[in-house]
Amino acid sequence: VEHCRMIGQHGLALIQQIARKKTGKPVNVLTHCNAGWLAFVDYGSATGPIYAAHDCGLPLHVWVAETRPRNQGSKLTAWELGQHGVPHSVIADSAAGHLMQHGEVDLVIVGT
């Protein structure tokens, strides 16, 4: 659990840097698969920075890739983010490239 919190704090610093440049606009984060608290007790690994940023009051939005074929993103990550009150949208895996190409993603965070 402590390692996940440390990942969260490290990622929080990255999100804060991006947030300063966006001057009040949400930081758009793209995730793929599930590395949240259902997989990593209490805090999650890849979602740790997202929760830390949300808890600090930073405006953010998470693009949640559905993660086919098992749909861990749409079923697990989206549910976890919703439980924590984090704004998010579930997208088709193939939409990720389109969002990045059009500047709608500031940061990509994935876990193992």
Superfamily of domain 2-110: Translation initiation factor eif-2b; domain 2 (3.40.50.10470)
What is the structure's pLDDT at 38?
A: 84
Q: Where are the domains of the chain?
A: 2-110
Mind giving me the DSSP string for 10-54?
A: HHHHHHHHHHHHHTTSPEEEEEES--STTTSTTT-STTHHHHHHH
pLDDT in tens, 35-85: 888 888 777 889 999 999 999 999 999 999 999 999 999 999 999 999 999
pTM of the model as a whole: 0.94
